[in-house]
Amino acid sequence: MLTLGGAAQKAAERADFARWRQTSANLLKQLKLDYPLAELRHWTVLLLPLFLFLLFWSSVSQPVSGGIFDTLGTESGAELHLVDLNSTFNLTSSSLVNARSLQLILAFSMVIAGIFAVQGTRQNFSRYPYVLRVGLIYLFILIWLGVAAWRVTLSDEQFIAPSIDFLGWESQEWSIVALICIALGMFFYGLLSNRNPRNFEFSLVLIMVSGLVMLAPLNMDQYQTNVSTLVAVWIMFGLGMNIVVGYAGLLDLGYVAFLAIGAYTYAFLSPINTQAKLNRTELNDLGWAIYIGLVVVPLVVFGASLAWHRLGRGNTSNRPAATSALKRLAPLWKNQPPLLVTLALIGVAVGATFLVRAVLEASGQLEVWQFSPFLVSLFVAMFAAAFAGFVLGVPVLRLRGDYLAIVTLGFGEIISLSLRNLSNITGGPSGAVRLPQPVADDTPALTASLAVLYLNVVFILLIILLANRLRNSRIGLAWLAMRSDEDIAQSMGINLVNAKLLAFSIGAGFAGVAGMLLAANQPGGIFPESFTLQQSINVLALVIIGGMGSIPGVIIGAIVLVGLPEILRPVQEYRIMAFGLLLVVTMVVRPSGLLPTPPPALEAEAQNLYQSRREE
Amino acid sequence: MNALDVQSITKVFGGLVAVSEASMAIPDRAIASLIGPNGAGKTTFFNCVSGFYKPERGKIIAYGRNIQGLRTDQIMALGIARTYQNIHLFSGMTVLENILAGMHSRRAMGPLGALARHRSNRDEARNVLANAYHWLEYVGLAGQGDQFATNLSYGSQRRLEIARALASEPRILLLDEPTAGMNPQEKQTMIDFIRRLRDELGLTIFLIEHDMGLVMNVSDQITVLDYGRVIAEGTPTEVKNNPRVIEAYLGSQAEQEPHAAEIPDDLPQDEQPQKETV
C-alpha cells in the first residue's frame, strides 16, 4: 500500500513534461524537412479513428434494409458482415477472445486514437480555401447524421429508439426531430468554428471524433454496451480521483466510499424489491428530509454567499493597486452574509419547499409531479457524496502523504464494512437488488442499456468541462501549487483548509454521480463487493498510469485497466499479475504516465491582453 | 508609521534559544538588512515575521496591525511577501502559472465562479493574466512564460520567485539572500533591481544578505544579529564601526589569536575585502 502511495507521490513530483514538449518541438522541426511524408503521417494520425470506426461498424452484423434509407433493395431482415471477424481469425465461442470482444477492442482503440488525433492537431493550418474547409466539416456532419438516422429509425426488432408516444407523434418521428435539432446545432457549430481558420483542423477532428464516439454504441450488443458503460462509469470515477490526487496531490485510498455513497443513495431513493421496472416514485419522508438537507440548504447557502459577493460588499476584485493593503484585505469570512441572514434564507427555502409540496398534495397534483428517482438522486447523490468528502476532509486537514493515505484507507473500510453489516439498511451482503433504470417501463433491455450509456457519455463530457474549468481557474492553480509544496503554497496566500476541503468535496461529488450511474445501469442490484479497497487502488492506479492531472490520461487509464480486463475475462487469473506488471513498467518507462497533458500555453494570450490594456 | 515593528520576539527550539528578545523597526519605504554570522538566527527571525514560526514571546506589528500568530496565508494577504534562501518554485507549473498562483490572495473567483464562468469571472481572469504578463516583463522573463519554472536558469528562477512575490501586490518584501550564488555582475543587477522595487513600487524591503559589499551599498538601515540577539542597529557607517559587530564577526582582541585559523571559515568568500576595511 505504502509502496503504491510512494509511487503516486513520485509520479506527482516527476510530473515534468518538458521532455514531452521537446519531442513535439523536434517533431515540428522534422515536419519542415521531409514535408510530404510528414504530411501523410500527420493525416494518418488524424484519420486513424475513422478507419477504426469503419472496421468496427463493418464487422458488426448489420441489418441492410428498413428505416428512412431503404435504398439497398435487399430483402428485409438480411444481415451483412462486410468483415467477418469469426471466419477471418477462425474464432469460436470458446476462444480466448471472440468477435464481440474484438469489436469492443476496436471501439476502445477508436476512442484512444480519437484522443491522439485531437491532441495531434496543428494550429497554423489555413492553406485550404474557405469552401473546402467548410465543405469538409459539413461532409462529416452530414455523414454521421445520416448513419445515425438510418440506424435509429430501422423498423421491427432492429428499432432501438425508446418507445414514446408524446403529443401524437410516435418515437420514430421524435427521433427525426431530435436528429434535426442536433443537425442544426452542428450546422451553427460548423459556422462558428470556421470564423478562425487557425482552428480548422481542431474543429474537423473534434466533430469527427465526437460523431464517431456517439455513433459507435448504436451498433453494440448488450454485452458490449454493458462493458462500455462500466468503462464510462470508471472514467467519471477517475475524473473525480484526478481532482483529489492529480490536481491537489492528496493521496486518498478510501475513495471508493464516495462511489458507494452515490450508488446506495440511488438505491435508497428507488422503490426496491418490486418486480415492476418503475421509473417514477413518490418521495417518502426520509427522501424529503435528505432532499431538503442535502440539496435545498446547500444551494441556498451557496446562493446567498454568491449574491452577497455580487452585491458588492464582498467584492474583492478590481481593487486599485495603490490603496492600503490592509484596507483592501478584509479576511474572507467577513465577506459572507451574517449567520442570521443565512438562517432566515434557509428557513424561507425549507418553508417554500413544504408549501409547494402541500399545494401539490392538496390539488391532487403530487401524482402527476412525482419525482423520477434518477433526477432526484442525481442531485442527492452528488451532494451526499460531496458532504461525505467534506466530513472526511475536516479531520485529515493536518495530515500529509502516508498518514493521509492510512486515514482515508480507514474511512473507505468503515463505509465498506457498514455496507456489508448494516443489513437492515443496506441489505447486507445480498445487496440492494432490483433497481429501476431511468427509462420507460416497457423499454427493451438493449435500448435501456443504450440510454444509460448515452447518459454516461453526456455526464462524462459535462464533468470534463467542469474539471477543465477548475484546472485553469484560481482554485485549480491553488491545488497545483499545493501539490507541489503545501507550506510554500500557504505562504503564497493559499488557504490550505479551503483548498483541501474543496478538492475533497468536488472530487467526491463527481464520484457520487459516477456511483449513481453505476447503480442506474445495474438492474440486478448493487453489492458491497463492488466497493472494496481493490476498487480504490484500481482508480488510483488508473489515474497514475494515465498521467497525474491529465484528463485524456484518465480515459486511457480506464480503458486499459477496466475495459481490457473485462474483455479478457477468460484469462482472469492472470489479470492481477498483468496489472502489477503494467504498473511497474509504466512507472519505470514513463514516470509521468501514458498520456500526460502539458499545461496550457498562456503567454501569447497574456501578452495580447497586456498590450491592449496598455493602449487603452 | 513604521512598516514593520518587531518588539522583543523570542523563539525557542527545545533548549536552543534561536532568537532572543530581538527588536527592530523598519520605516516605510526603507531598504533594511539583517546580517550576522552563520547560525545567528537570521532566517529564524524571517520565518517569525512571515508566520512560518510562532514566536513564544513578543509582538510583530506591520503597518499598525499585530500579525503575530496569524497563518502564513493571512500574513501574505496583509501584504507581506517573501522569497526563500533555497528557491522554492512550484514544480509542474509554467512560469506564468507560478505568477498567477502568487496572485491567489488578490483574486475573488471561487469554485462556483470557476464553474459558471460568469462575465465578471472571465473579466477577472483576463485582468489577472494581463497583470501576470506585466510582472513577467518587469523581472525580464518575457518570452519564457510557457516554460516550466524548474527549467529556468538559476538567476531566472530567483527573478521568478521575486515576480511571484510581487504579483501578490505586497507592501513589504522579505528577501532571503537574494544574491546567493550569483557572480559580481549579476549581484550589481540585483542591487539595481532592489532599488527599483523601492523607488518604482514604493515597497519596504527587508533582506538577509551575506555579501557585506552589497549590504553596505544598498541598505538604509542595518540590523546585526548574533546568537539570536540584536547587537547593533543603524546606518551602514555606524554598524561598520561598531565594536560589538567587529567582535561578533572577527572575535574579540584576546580571542583572536588562538582562533585565527577559524575566521575564514566563518566568513563567505565575498567578505574578504570588507574584512580589510574593518
Answer whether residue A41 shows pLDDT above 60: yes
Beta-strand runs (E) in A135-294: none
Residues of A436-448 as b/e, b for ≥16 C-beta within 10 angstroms?
bbbbbeebeeebb
Which of the four pLDDT bands, split at 50, 70 and 90, describes residue A558?
A: very high
Same domain flag for A276 and A286: no
Give the dihedral sign, CA A87/A91/A93/A98: negative
Residue A323, domain member (yes or no):
no
B69 touches chain A (CB under 8 A): no
One DSSP character per residue, A288-303 reads: HHHHIIIIIHHHHHHH
Going by pLDDT thresholds of 50, 70 and 90, the confidence category of residue A7 is low
Q: A336 and A260, same structural domain? A: no
Helix (H) or strand (E) holding B175: strand B172-176
Between A182 and A84, name the one with better pLDDT.
Answer: A182
Please tell me what DSSP assigns to residue A369.
T
The larger pLDDT score, comparing residue A255 to residue A221, is at A255
Instruction: Calculate mean pLDDT across residues B2-29.
Output: 90
Question: Would you say residue B116 has pLDDT above 70?
Answer: yes
User: How does DSSP classify residue B57?
Assistant: E
For range B116-134, the mean pLDDT: 85
Chain A environment of B106 (Cβ under 8 Å): 316, 319, 493
Asked whether residue A324 is domain-assigned, the answer is no
Residue A279 pLDDT > 50, yes or no? no
Q: How far is CA A605 from the centre of its chain?
A: 29
Q: Which residues of A532-557 are buried (b: 16+ CB within 10 A; e: fewer)?
A: beebbbbbbbbbbbbbbbbbbbbbbb
> For B108, which of A316, A491, A599 is closest by C-beta distance?
A316
- Residue A149 within a domain: yes
Distance from B149 to chain A by nearest Cα, in Å?
10
User: pLDDT (tens digit, 9 = 90+) per residue, A406-442?
Assistant: 999 999 999 999 988 887 777 778 777 777 777 766 6
Answer for the pair A305, A336: CB distance below 8 angstroms, yes or no: yes
> Of A316-330, A376-390, A431-445, B83-97, where does mean pLDDT reach its minimum?
A316-330
Contact A471, B78 (CB under 8 A): no
Residue A17 lies in a domain: no
Instruction: Give me chain A's average pLDDT, please.
Output: 76
CA-closest candidate to residue B149, choices B115, B99, B186: B99
Instruction: Judge contact between A421 and A262, C-beta under 8 A.
Output: no
Which of the two residues, B124 and A323, has the higher pLDDT score?
B124
Give the three-class secondary structure for B21: strand
Q: Cα separation of B254 and A325, whole Å?
A: 51
* 110-139 of B, contacting A, C-beta below 8 A: 110-115, 117, 120, 124-127, 129-134, 136-137
Q: Which of A194-203, A490-499, B51-60 has the lowest mean pLDDT?
A: A194-203
Percentage of chain B exceeding pLDDT 70: 90
- What pLDDT score does A286 carry? 60
**Claim to verify: residue A176 and residue A201 sit in the same structural domain:** yes
Q: A69 near A150, Cβ under 8 Å?
A: yes
Does A22 map to a domain? Answer: no
Angle between helices A496-520 and A256-268 (to 10 degrees): 50
Looking at A4-8, A62-66, A443-447, A605-609, which range is the least confident one? A62-66
CA distance A574 to A569: 10
Of B73, B124, B136, the CB nearest to A490: B73
In terms of domains, do A529 and A399 share one?
Answer: yes
Beta-carbon separation of A483 and B151 below 8 A: no
Question: Taking CB atoms and an 8 Å limit, are B73 and A494 in contact across chains?
Answer: yes
When pLDDT is averaged across residues A394-413 and rounded to a whole number, the result is 88
Q: Are strands B16-27 and B2-13 parallel, antiparallel or unpaired?
A: antiparallel
Task: Give the domains, in start order, of chain B with CATH numbers.
Answer: 2-79+170-277 (3.40.50.300), 92-169 (no CATH)
Task: Output the pLDDT for position A246.
Answer: 92
For residue A199, name the pLDDT band (cuts at 50, 70, 90).
Answer: confident
B168-190 pLDDT, tens digit each? 999 999 999 888 888 888 888 88
First to last CA, chain A: 57
- Residue-number span of the structural domain to which A306 is assigned: 282-313+330-370
| Chain B residue closest in CA terms to A467 | B115
Query: Would the pLDDT of B264 be above 80?
Result: no
| For residues B202-207, average pLDDT | 92
Residue A243 has pLDDT above 90, yes or no: yes
Q: Does B104 contact A17 at a Cβ distance shorter than 8 Å?
A: no
Mind telling me how many Å the CA of B228 is from chain A's nearest CA? Answer: 24
Do residue A474 and residue B104 have CB atoms under 8 angstroms apart?
yes
Which pLDDT band holds residue B165 (cuts at 50, 70, 90)? very high
d(CA B28, CA B172): 9
Count how many domains chain A has. 3
Q: Which three cell numbers stand for residue A160?
A: 432501438
What percentage of chain A exceeds 90 in pLDDT?
Answer: 23
A322 inside domain: no
Q: Do B96 and A478 touch (CB under 8 A)?
A: no
**B159 DSSP 8-state letter:** H
Task: Give residue A502's pLDDT band: very low, low, confident or very high (50, 70, 90).
Answer: very high
What CA–CA distances, in Å, run from A142 to A145, A200, A208, A486? 5, 17, 11, 51
Residues of B in contact with A466 (CB under 8 A): 115
User: What pLDDT sits at residue A331?
Assistant: 39
Size of interface A-B (CB pairs under 8 A): 178
Q: Residue B179: what pLDDT?
A: 87
Residue A185 confidence (pLDDT) above 60: yes
> Worst-scoring range by mean pLDDT, A152-166, A353-367, A526-540, B204-218?
A152-166
Of the residues A486, A492, A605, the best mutation for testing chain B's interface (the one with the most B CB atoms within 10 Å of its CB) is A492
Q: A195 lies in a domain?
A: yes
Nearest-angstrom CA–CA distance, A188 and A203: 12
Length of chain A counted residue by residue: 616
Q: CB A16 to CB B115 under 8 A?
A: no
Shortest CA distance from A315: residue in chain B: B108
Q: Which pLDDT band holds residue A578 (cuts at 50, 70, 90)?
A: confident
Smallest CA–CA distance, residue A335 to chain B, in Å, is 11
Together in a domain, A270 and A242: yes
Q: Which residue of chain B has the CA closest to A473?
A: B114
My answer on whether A258 and A298 are in the same domain is no
Question: A107 and A206 share a domain?
Answer: yes
Residue A441 and residue A364 share a domain:
no
Whether B2 contacts B25, CB under 8 Å: yes
CA geometry: angle A460, A470, B169, nearest 5 deg: 175
* B120/A235 Cα distance (integer angstroms): 32
Position A573 scores a pLDDT of: 72
List the single best residue of B47, B67, B86, B148 to mutate versus A (max A Cβ within 10 A).
B148
* One-letter amino acid for residue A424 of the chain: N
Per the model's pLDDT, the better-predicted residue between B206 and A221 turns out to be: B206
Same domain, A98 and A176: yes
Three-state secondary structure call for residue A406: helix
pLDDT tens for B22-38 read 999 999 999 999 998 88
Chain B residue numbers touching A613 (CB-CB < 8 A): 130
Phi, psi angles (nearest 5°) of residue B213: -60, -45
Phi/psi of residue B7, nearest 5 degrees: -115, 100
Choosing among A309, A317, A324, which should be mutated to test the B contact, i.e. which has the most B CBs within 10 A? A317
Contact list in B for residue A15 (CB cut-off 8 A) is 91-92
pLDDT band at A19 (very low <50, low <70, confident <90, very high): low
pLDDT averaged over every residue in chain B: 85
CB atoms under 10 Å from CB of A130, counted, come to 11
Residue B145, Cβ density class (10 Å: 0-12 exposed, 13-18 middle, ≥19 buried): buried
Cβ neighbours of B168 in A, within 8 Å: 492-493
Q: Is the pLDDT of residue A21 over 60?
A: no
Query: Could you tell me if A254 and A344 lie in one domain?
Result: no
Decide if B73 touches A, using CB distance below 8 A: yes
Query: Which B positions 171-200 lie with beta carbon below 8 A of chain A?
Result: 171
pLDDT in the model for residue A148? 76
Phi, psi of A78 (to 5 degrees): -70, 150
Q: Chain A contact for B228, CB < 8 A? A: no
Contacts of A386 in chain B (CB under 8 A): none
Nearest-by-Cβ selection for B109 from A329, A474, A610:
A474
> What's A531's DSSP letter?
S
Hey, which residues does B94 pair with through a beta bridge? B148
Answer whether residue A12 is part of any domain: no
Whether A169 and A56 share a structural domain: yes
The answer to whether residues A271 and A286 belong to one domain is: no
B130, A495 Cβ separation under 8 angstroms: no
pLDDT band at A388 (very low <50, low <70, confident <90, very high): very high
Question: Which member of A491, A496, A602 has the closest CB to residue B96?
Answer: A602
Predicted confidence band at A84 (pLDDT cuts at 50, 70, 90)?
A: low
Least confident among A8-22, A282-296, A457-471: A8-22
Q: How many residues does chain B have?
A: 278
Q: Say what the pLDDT of residue A66 is.
A: 45
